[in-house]
Amino acid sequence: MKDYKRYLITSALPYANGPIHIGHLAGVYVPSDIYTRYLRMKEADVISICGSDEHGVPITLKARNEGITPQEVVDRYHTLNKKAFEDFGISFDIYSRTSNKVHYETASEFFLNLYNKNEFVEKSTDQYYDEEAGCFLADRYITGTCPHCGNENAYGDQCEKCGTSLSPNELINPHSTISGSKPVLRETLHWYLPLDKYEGWLKKWILEDHKEWKVNVYGQCKSWIDQGLQPRAVSRDLDWGVPVPVKGAEGKVLYVWFDAPIGYISATKELTPHWEKYWKDPETKMVHFIGKDNIVFHCIIFPVMLKAEGSFILPVNVPANEFLNLENDKISTSRNWAVWLHEYLEEFPGKQDVLRYTLCSNAPETKDNDFTWKDFQARNNNELVAILGNFVNRTLVLTNNYYDGAVPESAQRDENDEAVLAEIARIRGNVETSLESFRFREALKEAINLARLGNKYLADAEPWKVIKNDPERVRTIMNISLQITANLTIILEPFLPFSMEKLRGWLNLSRCSWNEAGRTDLLLAGHRINKPELLFEKIEDDAVERQINKLQATKKANEAAAAKIVPSKDPVTFDEFSKVGIRTATILEAEKVPKTTKLLKLKIDTGLDVRTIVSGIAEYYEPETIIGWQISIVANLEPRKIKGIESKGMILMAEDKDGKLVMVTPTGKVSNGSMIK
């Protein structure tokens, strides 16, 4: 493996129209943070770059829906998400944003550079234009009837009912969501990046030279390239974004996919005046951390942009993850099916590392994976508390009890002692290998094996028993346990930074470099440690049940919202309507129809007569409670026999979403037989 002089780590810029959830953390930010912390501990020259992606149509749509400006939308989520990252110890060197001035300058310059080198293809196409609002319409601003399923509210890019991808001109009866008017087709000029021109180069660069990329990433790239690449527009008719910096391009901005990855470059510029050595020196290893929805942008489109520009380096690896599901269902912002970071911290204060640990243990590295609250609880209770916490606590408590907190000198070590100590360096090596290959689950599993090793050593050696007969031997046991504990603060630091900071405090140990891991003299005899607290605490069943109940409530609310309203029926004339004799009436008697569950036999005073009506409401009304009620009936419905009883007319009912029937009654007293019209 090539040795690089420095590292440039980028993490996908979160889109600033919603808060961050556990899926983002598991897929992108926890792995990128582990990798960055590891490199920093190796004293590598490394910078970690991220920021908010603040342009594009969904942000303008959200602003319009809420009656605020796009800037207000992005300010809200930039602030919220920046804080969430800080709270979870995601240690970017900079968290910038694409609405910054430096980004506008950098993105414009990048575009101009390609423009001047004739890298773009100019093309005029017909696009929908809203004459009332005076603007071109992005696909999402056009709705109409889906040609596939007849959904009347399909968007210009997709029908959300049947899931079909659409283009705006496929919509039947399109209209603008801005003014409601029917849009017209108008010619507009745009610039295209000719990806097809780079197909041969991409084939060699990815398919031949980067066979080591993760299987899911390599496979997706191959399938894109095999399908054949098309020129892709880099500009849009929109008023929110980086203006296209050429004459005649008024009202056009850079397409968000073109502008966003340049955000990595502008954020680096903002961070350091020496930004060019990170972006232009082939001795820099650039790694993009992203989710699978971003593979095409970071493996194909952005590299083509960089290649076309000519002075930039390309990513060495793009370790994209698959998606994390939540309790067997796809995480969804619009359905509120998510665990939001800011809410997690309110409900589990101080437990950032527990979530980091669970998300890394269960990361969707090679396939989609599932987060469940039961698994979260089990990982905390059975691994963090029972193994890591237990070992650390016993070691520190015994050292305080036996030696008043002073590290004892190790006497003669036996064969097993030496084997255990040798294991530390071996574990470190394994963790390194896994981290360097972006296998974070495996790395964490191996790192926690060090705590397992310590736990087993202590349980086998039983110093609490040996102390009675052989206190000299206990000094050695405790010295070795303390060295393992000190090594944990190094090897687990990238994964559990909050807990390891605590542990260093109790050990009275300053931060060590990664290369010190494996040493067996990190704590010298006589060094004083402090009194520990619990590193992790058990998570009880009721805390987990609360979370599960919360999700179940969300599911119910979603189902209710999705329940369908019966579509409007065909029109009837007034004459037709007048034929139906709807009148008020009063219930005189009510009884269940024997051997049925749903039917009530009612005796009704209709003003015209007293008659019998059979009605299917027994599930909703007790007979004795409805006597005397005034109701509405269809009095001239042809009589029919139900269970042998002649029913003359029908009682009017409203049927709720869940099928429940409710009687329709006048809100004030009227005479029986009053016409309802």
On whether the CB atoms of residues 135 and 237 are closer than 8 A, the answer is: yes
HEC sequence for 625-649: HCCCCEEEEECCCCCEEECCEEECC
Q: How far is the CB of 154 from Zn ion (least distance, A)?
A: 5
Q: How far is the CB of 144 from Zn ion (least distance, A)?
A: 11
Q: How far is the CB of 61 from Zn ion (least distance, A)?
A: 20
Q: Using the minimum distance from each CB to Zn ion, give the nearer residue, 150 or 666.
A: 150
State both tokens at 508: 């009275």
In sequence order, the 6+-apart residues with CB closer than 8 A to the CB of 362 are 26, 324, 369, 370, 371, 375, 379, 441
Q: How far is the CB of 565 from Zn ion (least distance, A)?
A: 18
Of 91, 113, 145, 151, which lies in the binding site for Zn ion, with binding defined by CB under 5 A?
A: 151
Name the one range near Zn ion by CB under 5 A: 8-16, 129-137, 147-155, 662-670: 147-155
Q: Rounded to an integer, what distance in angstroms lies between the CA atom of residue 640 and that of residue 637?
A: 9
Of 112, 162, 419, 645, which lies in the binding site for Zn ion, with binding defined by CB under 5 A?
A: 162
On whether the CB atoms of residues 335 and 557 are closer than 8 A, the answer is: no
Q: Using the minimum distance from each CB to Zn ion, give the nearer residue, 146 or 523.
A: 146
Name the one range near Zn ion by CB under 5 A: 152-160, 369-377, 452-460, 502-510: 152-160
HEC sequence for 392-428: HHHHHHHHHHHHCCECCCCCCCCHHHHHHHHHHHHHH
Q: How far is the CB of 257 from Zn ion (least distance, A)?
A: 25
Q: Interior CA angle at 152 toward 147 and 153, to 5°?
A: 110
Q: Using the minimum distance from each CB to Zn ion, give the nearer residue, 144 or 183.
A: 144
Q: How far is the CB of 158 from Zn ion (least distance, A)?
A: 9
Q: How far is the CB of 166 from Zn ion (least distance, A)?
A: 8
State both tokens at 10: 């980028």
On whether the CB atoms of residues 366 and 216 are closer than 8 A, the answer is: yes
**Long-range contacts, 396-404 (Cβ 8 Å, 24+):** 396/485, 396/506, 396/507, 396/529, 396/531, 396/532, 397/532, 398/463, 398/464, 398/478, 398/481, 399/478, 399/482, 399/529, 400/529, 400/531, 400/532, 402/463, 402/467, 402/474, 402/478, 403/478
Q: Rounded to an integer, what distance in angstroms lies between the CA atom of residue 106 and that of residue 98?
A: 10
Name the one range near Zn ion by CB under 5 A: 150-158, 303-311, 440-448, 532-540: 150-158
Q: Using the minimum distance from each CB to Zn ion, give the nearer residue, 171 or 360.
A: 171
Q: Is 179 in the site for Zn ion (CB under 5 A)?
A: no
- The total number of residues shown for the chain amounts to 677
Q: How far is the CB of 159 from Zn ion (least distance, A)?
A: 3
Q: How far is the CB of 65 from Zn ion (least distance, A)?
A: 22
State both tokens at 3: 């040795």
Name the one range near Zn ion by CB under 5 A: 88-96, 154-162, 536-544, 633-641: 154-162
Q: Is 148 in the site for Zn ion (CB under 5 A)?
A: yes
494 closest CA partner among 30, 16, 19? 30
Q: How far is the CB of 13 from Zn ion (least distance, A)?
A: 31
456 closest CA partner among 428, 429, 416? 416
Q: Using the minimum distance from each CB to Zn ion, give the nearer residue, 162 or 580.
A: 162
Site string for Zn ion, 446-465 (x = CB under 5 A): --------------------
Other CB atoms within 10 A of residue 577 CB: 10
Name the one range near Zn ion by CB under 5 A: 103-111, 160-168, 285-293, 608-616: 160-168
Q: What is the DSSP string of 99-110?
A: TSHHHHHHHHHH
Q: Using the minimum distance from each CB to Zn ion, give the nearer residue, 150 or 180.
A: 150
Q: How far is the CB of 137 from Zn ion (least distance, A)?
A: 19
Other CB atoms within 10 A of residue 532 CB: 21
Q: How far is the CB of 139 from Zn ion (least distance, A)?
A: 15
Q: Which residue has the tokens 């990046």?
A: 193
Name the one range near Zn ion by CB under 5 A: 151-159, 291-299, 597-605, 642-650: 151-159
Within 127-146, the residues that bind Zn ion by CB under 5 A are: 146
State both tokens at 65: 């829906």
Q: Which residue has the tokens 């009530």?
A: 600
Q: Using the minimum distance from each CB to Zn ion, give the nearer residue, 162 or 572.
A: 162
Residue type, 183: P
Q: How far is the CB of 156 from Zn ion (least distance, A)?
A: 13
Q: Using the minimum distance from each CB to Zn ion, give the nearer residue, 168 or 463.
A: 168
Q: Using the minimum distance from each CB to Zn ion, give the nearer residue, 165 or 328.
A: 165
Q: Using the minimum distance from each CB to Zn ion, give the nearer residue, 162 or 548.
A: 162
Q: Is 149 in the site for Zn ion (CB under 5 A)?
A: yes
Q: How far is the CB of 114 from Zn ion (least distance, A)?
A: 37
Q: Using the minimum distance from each CB to Zn ion, give the nearer residue, 173 or 230.
A: 173
Q: Rounded to an integer, what distance in angstroms lies between the CA atom of residue 127 and that of residue 138?
A: 9
Q: How far is the CB of 157 from Zn ion (least distance, A)?
A: 12
Q: Using the minimum distance from each CB to Zn ion, give the nearer residue, 151 or 430.
A: 151
- The partner residues of 186 in beta bridges, in order of sequence, read 127
540 closest CA partner among 351, 398, 309, 388? 351
Q: How far is the CB of 147 from Zn ion (least distance, A)?
A: 8
**What are the CA-CA distances from residue 520 to residues 298, 427, 451, 480, 524 (Å)?**
43, 14, 15, 8, 9
State both tokens at 138: 């992005």
Q: How far is the CB of 150 from Zn ion (least distance, A)?
A: 7
Q: Using the minimum distance from each CB to Zn ion, give the nearer residue, 149 or 664.
A: 149
Within 586-645, the residues that bind Zn ion by CB under 5 A are: none
Residue type, 276: E
Helix (H, G, I), strand (E, B), or coil: what is residue 667? coil
Q: Is 158 in the site for Zn ion (CB under 5 A)?
A: no
Name the one range near Zn ion by CB under 5 A: 153-161, 432-440, 444-452, 630-638: 153-161
User: What spatial distance separates the first Cα and last Cα of the chain, rounded to whole Å?
Assistant: 85
Size of the site for Zn ion (CB under 5 A): 7
Q: Using the minimum distance from each CB to Zn ion, give the nearer residue, 151 or 672.
A: 151
Of 13, 49, 107, 159, which lies in the binding site for Zn ion, with binding defined by CB under 5 A?
A: 159
Q: Using the minimum distance from each CB to Zn ion, give the nearer residue, 166 or 618.
A: 166
Q: Beta strand 121-130 with 135-136: parallel, antiparallel or unpaired?
A: antiparallel
Q: Using the minimum distance from each CB to Zn ion, give the nearer residue, 51 or 144.
A: 144
Q: Using the minimum distance from each CB to Zn ion, give the nearer residue, 64 or 161.
A: 161
Residues that bind Zn ion (CB under 5 A): 146, 148-149, 151, 159, 161-162
